[in-house]
Chains A and B, each alone.
Chain A
Amino acid sequence: MLSVADLACERGERELFRNLAFELEKGQALLVRGGNGRGKTSLLRILSGLSSPTAGAVYWRGQPIEAVREQYGYDMAYIGHANAIKDDLTPLENLQFAAALRGRQFDSDQAVEALAQLGLSHCIELPARALSFGQRRRVALSGLMLAGALLWILDEPLTGLDIDGVAMVEKLIYSHIAAGGVAIMTTHQPLVLEGVIQISISVGG
């Protein structure tokens, strides 16, 4: 589904990685490892199409992602360091706008369900301002359930989550992959995904 050939990235004058290549099929997960400042986030941003690589290209279903930008926009969901949650909107409104901006159908019952599944049913009516960091992370992640995207690109999805939260997200990712989805993640915490084909790459020296 997603393949990468000969990818290279520079930030400033520093070369982060070079000649990176891998291929992901349905039902596979990619775990990107590497220390701080090694280029994990840069790689994920390149894969999502937010930044361009110095060399090489990213292919989605055999096509460069710039050529299939529209389709890739529907098929891919990206969650970066920031949660993209607006303080002045409620979690439900946040999810609604997020879906509309990505051109996706929105069903509010389904959204309430998704929020409940990540343990947020009690704060659906509150403005996001009142939520803690971990709770906002959960709101952002619950958007994944509504997106219907085939490919998930998650930058440190477990940051700020408590033990319950980590377990819920693990289950979420697991069921996505089990259903034939693809996931790409970076994480410092150990992630348990039993029975899932995992590819690990490390970036940076």
Chain B
Amino acid sequence: MLRFLITVVRRDVLLAVRRRGDWLTAQFFFVMVVSMFPLGVGPEPSMLRVIGPGVVWVSALLACLLSLGRLYADDFRDGSLEQMLLSPYPNSLLALGKALAHWIINGIPLLLIAPVLGIQFGLPAEALLILVLSLAIGTPILSLLGGIGAALTLGLRGGGVLITLLILPLYVPVLIFGAGAVEGAMSGTGSEAHLSLLGAFLVMSLLIAPWISSLALKVSVE
């Protein structure tokens, strides 16, 4: 079981490494979207500090959705997905592995870039720490929930836009708790409550999302 999970993750990571160009595109998308905001609202430091956490978080959602469209699509097109679904192991394990791989490939780089972008927005050091922490708890949720959307829209026309439509509303709690944690750290009201709620949501997603993704995969491949 565990070996299967590791194989799924290792395979996706290896494929991402072999296709570095695609992977870099998603990371640069994140950096660029965040950098557009100061140009749009003006360079006022106090204003930037207020919108900073929200901007970074919204951009993280978008960057995540951008790469989610391809989570199952490539494997679906070349037939590997069918082979994986026929494996003797539960399909929810496959969905979990896929989400985990997506987080390693796209989520972890986000964590590393975010503090740099936070500095651009003049966030204090403590807030930067909370920003990374909230992203560390929050981005796996994005990958897990997004996996459901990716499975549902598999092979559909305009799947990329559709997945945004389906999944973005489900991301609302992550955005609120995530950005709220950073704001709480900055305003001194504390961020523990936000982070623990985010953690609870992560646990719930871990329990439910792989299972629903596997059902969705079955429906879509049939």
Contacts and interface: CB of A to CB of B under 8 A. Distances in A.
**When A and B assemble into the complex, do they touch directly, with CB atoms less than 8 Å apart?**
yes
B217 to A, nearest CB: 11
Contacts of A127: 18
Interface stretch (A18-26, A45-53, A193-201): A45-53
B86 A102 contact: yes
A89 B79 CA distance: 15
Question: What range describes how many residues of A lie at the interface?
Answer: 20 to 34
B83 A78 contact: yes
B166 interface: no
Contacts of B19: 88
Label chain B's interface by main secondary structure: helix
A71 B86 CA distance: 11
Label chain A's interface by main secondary structure: loop
Question: What range describes how many residues of B lie at the interface?
Answer: 20 to 34
A3 B4 CA distance: 30
A98 to B, nearest CB: 6
A78 B85 CA distance: 11
Interface stretch (A55-63, A79-87, A176-184): A79-87
A101 interface: yes
A171 interface: no
Nearest to A52: B222
A89 B15 contact: yes
B222 A101 contact: no
A102 B87 contact: yes
B82 A84 contact: yes
Contacts, number: 72
B78 A86 contact: yes
Nearest to A72: B88
Contact of A88 (B4, B15, B221): B15
B7 interface: yes
A48 B3 contact: no
A51 B218 CA distance: 8
A103 B83 contact: no
Nearest to B17: A88
Contacts of A69: 88
Contacts of A74: 88
A21 B219 CA distance: 25
A48 B82 CA distance: 10
16 contacts: A50-B82, A51-B221, A73-B87, A74-B88, A76-B86, A80-B79, A82-B77, A82-B79, A84-B83, A86-B78, A97-B11, A100-B7, A101-B4, A101-B84, A102-B87, A103-B4
Closest 9 CB pairs of A and B: A82-B79, A73-B88, A88-B18, A84-B79, A100-B7, A51-B222, A70-B88, A84-B80, A84-B83
